[in-house]
């Protein structure tokens, strides 16, 4: 599964069945216009124009799962009031596999009302009360949890701190998930993770994580990632949590895999325009769960979830992300230019799945000259997309001596990617491109100046059925010759 590209993972969402358990509520948005200040008090007067109501809290997680085409079941608790029926109607309208809502006596179904004018939130009014579940009601809910857990691939716990996830209910749910071998992900609100003990992953935001470990972190500090990772591993060890994913708002997210012993992974945000962060955590949770349910490796899951958050914060109000939006967002990450080897592999796999030919050439390309330009053009004519392996500065110094390169790798990469015949550049540190080729596995490799007996890269590509093409050399063109002329 780890070799699949991101688009292929998204295509598998529809085959996954996910159970979401959580604090469900209603999100109400009152949109209007402010044109004056009240004469009664120094507050804006909003003239109401439209009103919108949607599922909020765990309900938004469920809405996102369905928007991503996942088979979805839900379990939660509501009151015995008019809003409880609205929640039920909204959930039924999503086409869920199973819906179980425990009606709690003397409980008010939570509704959050936001007043918005000119794209800005002016006020939020919460109508809620603490949830207290009687022993009989708890027993009924846990019986339903056990029935549902057996049918699904993964379980999401969306804890909004309303009282559902208490010291009785949560450990019992986690125990059932472990009993039936189902991964369980928690989006926490509380700082004490005792009730989450034994879960697969906890996904706090930075504020929640800081509260849990009892200290603050500066994302601009050069030691930020290392400090956060150390604190995260300690937290995981204390509560027997297998993994942590800390979302960092405009700074992206950082993954701390305590169970595997691997290093932390920090990726930047995908958001370009941020209009509204309401519900972004729900979207991240839903997309992460969907990706993990496919069996994909976590690096890919994290990148998909990060992209989903980048999509949803560009929308107003409680919103969902679709598979199409997610694919478009991920395809725009690297339209062209310098890519990492991991990104190159994903792009190449996607191209091959579309029946496209992937081509490759490599070199130092220290001082671009007509020979390089013609080689790139000829290589590009052999394929649909051309990847160029570019020797790093350090590898060039090892190959050609301390006076080279003339142009550093950033400048060389800029010049090469500016050429119409080049699609992607991968900078590599090894003396040979073979380690890169072993992962990229292009359909065609093309390069001038080699006989096949001396061309290990060409022979490797041929070994798995690819094509190796020796390009004709353009006489009188070389970087060394240009340097010698300059020295005269």
CATH superfamily of 338-487: HUPs (3.40.50.620)
Whether pLDDT at 253 is above 50? yes
User: For residues 63 and 319, is the Cβ–Cβ distance under 8 A?
Assistant: no
What CA–CA distance (Å, rounded) separates 485 from 37? 75
- pTM of structure: 0.68
Would you call 282 a catalytic residue per the annotation?
Answer: yes
What is the reported pLDDT for 59? 95
Task: Report helix, strand or coil for 386.
Answer: strand
What is the reported pLDDT for 484? 53
Q: What is the arrangement of strands in the sheet containing 467-471, beginning at the earlier edge strand? A: 337-338, 424-428, 385-391, 358-363, 444-448, 467-471
Per annotation, catalytic residue among 153, 276, 282, 443: 282
Neighbour-count burial for 280-293, b at 16+ CB within 10 Å, e otherwise: bbbbbbbbbbbbbb
pLDDT digits (tens, 9 = 90+) for 113-125: 999 998 788 999 9
pLDDT digits (tens, 9 = 90+) for 309-343: 888 776 655 578 888 888 877 764 444 578 888 88
Q: Which CATH fold would you assign to the domain 6-333?
A: 3.40.1190
> How high does pLDDT run on average in the chain?
87
204-213: long-range pairs with CB below 8 Å, 24+: 204/244, 204/246, 204/247, 205/246, 205/247, 205/248, 205/249, 205/281, 206/246, 206/247, 206/248, 206/249, 206/251, 209/235, 209/244, 209/246, 212/188
What is the reported pLDDT for 270? 59
pLDDT band at 368 (very low <50, low <70, confident <90, very high): confident
Domain ranges within the chain, ordered by starting residue: 6-333, 338-487
């Amino acid at each position: 599964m780890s070799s699949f590209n991101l688009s292929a993972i998204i295509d598998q969402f529809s085959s996954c069945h996910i159970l979401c358990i959580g604090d469900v509520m209603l999100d109400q948005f009152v949109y209007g216009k402010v044109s004056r200040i009240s004469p009664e008090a120094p507050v804006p007067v909003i003239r109401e124009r439209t009103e919108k109501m949607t599922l909020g809290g765990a309900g938004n997680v469920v809405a996102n799962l369905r928007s991503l085409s996942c088979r979805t079941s839900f379990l939660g608790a509501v009151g015995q009031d008019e809003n409880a029926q609205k929640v039920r109607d909204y959930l039924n309208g999503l086409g869920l596999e199973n819906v179980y809502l425990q009606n709690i006596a003397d409980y008010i179904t939570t509704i959050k009302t936001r007043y918005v004018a000119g794209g800005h939130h002016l006020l939020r009014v919460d109508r809620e009360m603490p949830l207290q579940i009687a022993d009989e009601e708890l027993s009924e809910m846990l019986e339903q949890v056990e029935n549902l857990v057996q049918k699904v691939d993964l379980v999401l716990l969306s804890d909004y701190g309303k009282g559902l996830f208490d010291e009785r209910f949560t450990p019992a749910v986690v125990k059932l998930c472990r009993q039936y071998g189902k991964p369980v992900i928690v989006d926490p609100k509380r700082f004490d993770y005792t009730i989450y003990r034994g879960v697969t992953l906890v996904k706090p935001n930075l504020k929640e994580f800081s509260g849990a470990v009892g200290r603050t972190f500066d994302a601009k500090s050069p030691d930020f990632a290392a400090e956060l990772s150390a604190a995260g591993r300690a937290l995981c060890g204390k509560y027997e949590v297998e993994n942590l994913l800390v979302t960092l708002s405009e700074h992206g997210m950082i993954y701390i895999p305590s169970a595997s012993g691997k290093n932390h992974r920090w990726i930047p945000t995908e958001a370009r325009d941020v209009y509204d962060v309401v519900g972004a955590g729900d979207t991240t949770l839903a997309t992460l769960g969907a990706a993990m349910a496919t069996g994909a490796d976590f690096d890919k899951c994290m990148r998909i979830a990060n992209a989903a958050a980048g999509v949803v914060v560009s929308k107003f109000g409680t919103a969902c992300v679709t598979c199409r939006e997610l694919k478009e967002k991920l395809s725009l990450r690297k339209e062209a230019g310098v890519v990492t080897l991991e990104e190159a592999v994903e792009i190449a796999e996607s191209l091959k799945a579309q029946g496209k030919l992937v081509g490759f050439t490599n070199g130092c390309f220290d001082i671009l000259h007509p020979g390089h330009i013609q080689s790139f053009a000829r290589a590009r004519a052999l394929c649909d997309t051309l990847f160029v392996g570019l020797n790093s500065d350090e590898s060039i110094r090892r190959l050609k001596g301390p006076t080279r390169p003339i142009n550093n790798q950033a400048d060389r990469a800029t010049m090469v990617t500016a050429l119409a015949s080049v699609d992607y550049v991968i900078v590599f540190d090894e003396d040979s491109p073979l380690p890169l080729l072993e992962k990229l596995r292009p359909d065609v490799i093309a390069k001038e100046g080699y006989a096949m007996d001396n061309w290990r890269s060409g022979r490797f590509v041929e070994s798995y059925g690819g094509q190796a093409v020796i390009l004709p050399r353009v006489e009188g063109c070389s970087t060394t010759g240009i340097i010698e002329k300059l020295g005269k």
